[in-house]
């Protein structure tokens, strides 16, 4: 009897799963294992929302099959379990982050009998390249080549079937005491971990995807899919997402597919240019003399900059672990090009707070916003937080939700409270400097400083 072990990581589901499908085809009995990696856990805060999300996803898996949930170093624990269960072969889906690659290679060398699979992306970093074999560094030609490769294979989207009867069952061992063992606290998240919730959201989004291009930038409209965390942890598959994008033809479907390709683009950049993890993609931007202060950075983190759309977005992030993509661009541009704070500090803060944190996407987004990355916006393009607020939250609904002290201001003054007169502020029950801060910098003056800062670095 051949026994297989499937090591699940960022693929917390039992359907359309490449490694699990192969294991249940080739083996008579299959066991599942998930390791809470202490090297990752030790970098997180005790109330990190992602730990609870993963736990909920594992609970749902355990309702159907058994899963060995371990805490520690997977380089040690996976080989130990392999020997303990007298396993013949280890299976897992590939991860392209630098730490994961080193970790996985050590496990492969230790065990030997290992098969790995493409699963978290449709095309791996080495599969969509230029004619001369070099990687793309601009999105649009990458997207064209991606679509060409997709069409060349006949729009064939694999659906990796899993024989659940082959997976070894077991009594539930996932208890809340696990959090104490890890030194974490269970959190109540708006988005619950697991495939069932992910599929419901996918189905719900399918009913409004045709208007996605029109609604996605308006935070008060709930126009986004809220699926990013489910694809991040693999509660649903990338193929589930692509299938939805092809169900009908509309500008919304096209934009949705384009964003999925952006995800693959950043995965490719991380795989081909791993130096982006620690420094700028473009070497000429490494010498930017960031002049922003710690005080300004802290105000940004806490949502008290005096710029309502920025503060509302940051408070939303701190409270829920989520933020619409449009606002991610706004607050990132604000930190780098208005407060003049190093983008790497913002990237690190997002990494600590985002429920859907993905290294490739987060790094790519921050380098795009700071103009230091591949195919980034030009350094002289600086988002105006006031005009962005007026355009995408015209009535101030999102601001009112997260900055309630401003909720009685009218739709004109709520975007820039310091322009309201004393009577308007009194009627709104808001005292600037007490209930809500004055702007900590002048946007106009900071814009000029930013342009000089970038020009100096590039010269």
146 is catalytic: no
What distances in angstroms separate CA 77 from CA 7, 20, 167, one per listed residue?
Answer: 11, 20, 20
Q: What is the Cα–Cα distance from 37 to 7, expressed in whole angstroms?
A: 12
Catalytic choice (146, 300, 366, 368): 366
Q: Which of 325, 384, 397, 405 is catalytic?
A: 325
DSSP E strands, 40-107: 68-72, 89-93
Catalytic residue among 7, 256, 262, 300: 262
325 has catalytic annotation: yes
What is the rounded CA–CA span in Å between residue 282 and residue 269? 12
Contact 238, 124 (CB under 8 A): no
Nearest-angstrom CA–CA distance, 57 and 66: 13
The owner of tokens 């983008």 is 343
> Does the active-site annotation cover 343?
yes
Residues 321, 352 contacting (CB under 8 angstroms)? no
The residue annotated as part of the active site, out of 290, 384, 397, 405, is: 290
Q: Is 7 a catalytic residue?
A: no
Q: What angle do CA 90, 160, 18 make, to 5 degrees?
A: 30
Do 107 and 114 form a contact (C-beta atoms < 8 A)? yes
- Specify whether 368 is catalytic: no
Q: Distance between CA atoms of 77 and 368, rounded to whole angstroms?
A: 38
DSSP SS3 for 427: helix
- 436: helix, strand or coil: strand
Give the end-to-end CA distance of the chain in Å, rounded to a whole number.
67
Catalytic residue, from 26, 124, 259, 405: name it: 259
Tell me whether residue 300 is one of the annotated catalytic residues.
Answer: no
What Å distances lie between residue 219 and 131, 201, 301, CA to CA? 40, 17, 19
The structure tokens listed for 3 are: 């026994």
By the 8 A CB rule, do 235 and 196 touch?
no
Nearest of 2, 10, 456 to residue 231 by alpha carbon: 10
DSSP string, 204-238: HHHTTGGGHHHHTT-GGGT-S---HHHHHTTSS-H
CB atoms within 10 A of CB 1: 7
The catalytic residue among 343, 362, 368, 402 is 343
Nearest to 222 by CA among 96, 383, 405, 398: 398
DSSP result, 102-156: HHHHHHHHHH--EEEE--SSSS-TTTS--TTSPPP-SHHHHHHHHHHHHHHTTT-
Other CB atoms within a 10 A radius of the CB of residue 391 amount to: 14
Catalytic residues: 259, 262, 290, 325, 343, 366
């Amino acid at each position: 009897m051949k026994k297989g072990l499937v090591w699940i990581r960022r693929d917390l589901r039992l359907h359309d799963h490449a490694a699990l499908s192969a294991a249940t085809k080739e083996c008579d009995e299959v066991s599942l294992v998930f390791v809470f990696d202490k090297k990752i856990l030790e970098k997180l805060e005790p109330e990190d929302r992602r730990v609870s999300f993963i736990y909920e996803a594992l609970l749902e898996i355990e309702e159907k099959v058994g899963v060995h949930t371990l805490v520690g170093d997977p380089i040690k624990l996976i080989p130990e379990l392999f020997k303990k269960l007298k396993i013949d072969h280890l299976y897992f889906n590939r991860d392209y982050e630098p730490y994961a690659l080193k970790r996985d290679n050590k496990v492969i060398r230790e065990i030997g009998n290992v098969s790995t699979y493409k699963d978290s992306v449709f095309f791996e970093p080495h599969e969509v390249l230029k004619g001369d074999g070099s990687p793309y560094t601009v999105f649009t030609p990458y997207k064209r080549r991606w679509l060409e490769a997709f069409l060349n294979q006949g729009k064939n989207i694999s659906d990796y079937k899993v024989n659940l009867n082959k997976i070894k069952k077991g009594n539930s061992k996932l208890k809340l005491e696990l959090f104490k063992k890890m030194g974490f606290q269970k959190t109540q998240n708006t988005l619950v971990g697991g495939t069932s919730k992910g599929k419901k959201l996918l189905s719900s989004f399918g009913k409004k995807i045709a208007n996605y291009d029109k609604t996605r930038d308006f935070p008060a409209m709930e126009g986004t899919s809220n699926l990013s965390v489910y694809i991040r942890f693999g509660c649903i598959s990338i193929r589930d997402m692509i299938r939805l994008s092809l169900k009908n033809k509309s500008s919304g479907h096209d934009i949705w597919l384009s964003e999925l390709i952006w995800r693959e683009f950043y995965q490719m950049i991380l795989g081909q240019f791993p130096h982006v993890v620690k420094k700028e993609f473009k070497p000429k931007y490494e010498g930017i003399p960031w002049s922003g202060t710690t005080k300004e950075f802290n105000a940004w983190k806490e949502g008290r900059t005096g710029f309502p759309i920025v503060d509302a977005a940051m408070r939303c992030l701190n409270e829920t672990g989520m933020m619409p993509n449009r606002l991610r661009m706004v607050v990132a541009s604000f930190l780098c090009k208005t407060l003049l704070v190093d983008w790497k500090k913002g990237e690190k803060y997002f990494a600590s707070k985002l429920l859907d944190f993905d290294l490739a996407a987060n790094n790519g987004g921050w380098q795009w916003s700071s103009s230091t990355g591949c195919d980034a916006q030009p350094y002289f393009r600086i988002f105006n937080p006031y005009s962005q607020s007026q355009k995408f939250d015209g009535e101030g609904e999102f601001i009112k939700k997260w900055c309630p002290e401003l909720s009685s201001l009218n739709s004109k003054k709520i975007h820039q409270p310091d322009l309201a007169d004393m009577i308007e502020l009194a009627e709104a029950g808001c005292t600037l400097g007490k209930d809500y801060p004055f702007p900590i910098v002048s946007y106009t003056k900071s814009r000029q400083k930013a342009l000089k800062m970038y020009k100096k670095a590039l010269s």
